[in-house]
């Protein structure tokens, strides 16, 4: 955190990269440059935002960049903060996202595109079952934030990749690849959330983490004709948002 604050002091702060001038950085860019491990920046920024909201930084609609920089400089993220943010298996969750980020977004998507079928047709159902257990255990916020960590990373990377895409390739093809790539990481993070489980939960986590393992080491697995490359519409959304869209879609079709 302190390194991100130093970068903003030395290079100057901007509200976003679109309005930055000279060497100025946005807060997100400062977190990215300060991260020692790829993928950590997203987790750090999300935890900082949580603390900033808790501390009322965003309550003031006229807040200044100086206020934001000062809060970044004064914030320390502890293991306890990450435990509260992502649950007891936060190291496995952060490492899962970090391992994917270390590959590089474009290279990771290329790996997914070139991979043999890798995903269980039951993956979304298994993920939903684990979420139900997390909610019942009082860990709804931690579960949702662990999944949001994946969503934020992919939203940032896919938005940037969209600017570089080959215009001769249909946008739908890119989106399909990005959706599958994201779903695999969401599956793996769901498995990481319940790392160390036993019984039925162990079976669920083994199935969910296998997809990403196949993508990363395709030569180390035997062919399994039951696996797919499928991803359900809206499955990468928060369940509440997905349910809302499903309710709206029939009425949209009637218009």
Q: What does the pLDDT read at residue 246?
A: 76
Between CA 122 and CA 211 the distance in angstroms is 12
pTM of the full structure: 0.89
The whole domain housing 60 covers: 2-77
Which positions ≥6 away from 4 have C-beta within 8 Å?
Answer: 27, 30, 31, 33, 34, 44, 72
Q: Are residues 140 and 193 in the same domain?
A: yes
Between CA 45 and CA 72 the distance in angstroms is 10
Q: What does the pLDDT read at residue 250?
A: 58
Q: Are residues 105 and 204 in the same domain?
A: yes
Between CA 139 and CA 170 the distance in angstroms is 40
Last residue in a domain, options 51, 77, 103: 77
Tens of pLDDT along the chain (255 residues) come to 889 999 999 999 999 888 999 999 999 999 989 987 767 889 999 999 999 999 999 999 999 999 999 999 999 999 999 999 999 999 999 999 999 999 999 999 999 999 999 999 999 999 999 999 999 999 999 999 999 999 999 998 998 888 888 888 888 888 999 999 999 999 999 999 999 999 999 999 999 999 999 999 988 878 889 999 999 988 998 888 888 887 776 554 555
In a domain, 251, yes or no: no
Q: Are residues 95 and 33 in the same domain?
A: no
Nearest CA among 227, 128, 230, 109 for reference residue 177:
109
Structure tokens at 97: 């996202």
In a domain, 21, yes or no: yes
Which positions ≥6 away from 207 have C-beta within 8 Å?
Answer: 120, 122, 123, 126
Domain count across the chain = 2
Measured CA to CA in angstroms, residue 211 lies from 34, 93, 177, 244 at distances of 31, 16, 14, 28
- Rounded to 10°, the helix 40-54/90-103 angle is 130
Last residue in a domain, options 37, 57, 77: 77
Between CA 123 and CA 8 the distance in angstroms is 42
In a domain, 250, yes or no: no
In a domain, 247, yes or no: no
In a domain, 7, yes or no: yes
Between CA 243 and CA 237 the distance in angstroms is 9
Q: Are residues 56 and 150 in the same domain?
A: no
Q: Are residues 45 and 92 in the same domain?
A: no
Q: What does the pLDDT read at residue 252?
A: 46
Last residue in a domain, options 57, 77, 97: 77
Q: Are residues 186 and 212 in the same domain?
A: yes
């Amino acid at each position: 955190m302190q390194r991100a604050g130093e970068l903003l002091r030395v290079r100057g702060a901007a509200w976003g990269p679109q309005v930055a001038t000279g060497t100025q950085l946005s807060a997100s860019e400062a977190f990215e440059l300060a991260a020692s491990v790829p993928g950590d920046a997203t987790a750090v920024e999300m935890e900082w935002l949580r603390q900033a909201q808790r501390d009322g930084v965003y309550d003031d609609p006229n807040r200044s960049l100086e206020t934001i920089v000062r809060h970044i400089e004064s914030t320390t993220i502890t293991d306890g903060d990450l435990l509260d943010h992502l649950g007891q298996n936060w190291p496995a969750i952060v490492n899962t996202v970090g391992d994917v980020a270390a590959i590089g977004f474009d290279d990771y998507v290329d790996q997914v595109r070139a991979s043999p079928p890798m995903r269980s047709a039951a993956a979304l159902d298994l993920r939903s079952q684990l979420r139900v257990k997390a909610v019942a255990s009082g860990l709804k916020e931690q579960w949702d934030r662990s999944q949001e960590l994946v969503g934020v990373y992919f939203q940032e990377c896919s938005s940037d990749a969209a600017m570089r895409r080959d215009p001769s390739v249909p946008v739908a093809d890119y989106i399909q690849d990005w959706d599958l790539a994201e779903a695999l990481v969401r599956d793996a993070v769901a498995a990481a959330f319940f790392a160390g489980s036993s019984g039925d939960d162990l079976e669920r986590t083994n199935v969910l983490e296998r997809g990403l393992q196949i993508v990363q080491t395709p030569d180390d697995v035997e062919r399994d004709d039951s696996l797919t490359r499928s991803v359900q519409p809206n499955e990468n959304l928060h369940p509440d948002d997905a349910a809302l869209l499903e309710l709206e879609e029939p009425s949209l079709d009637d218009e």
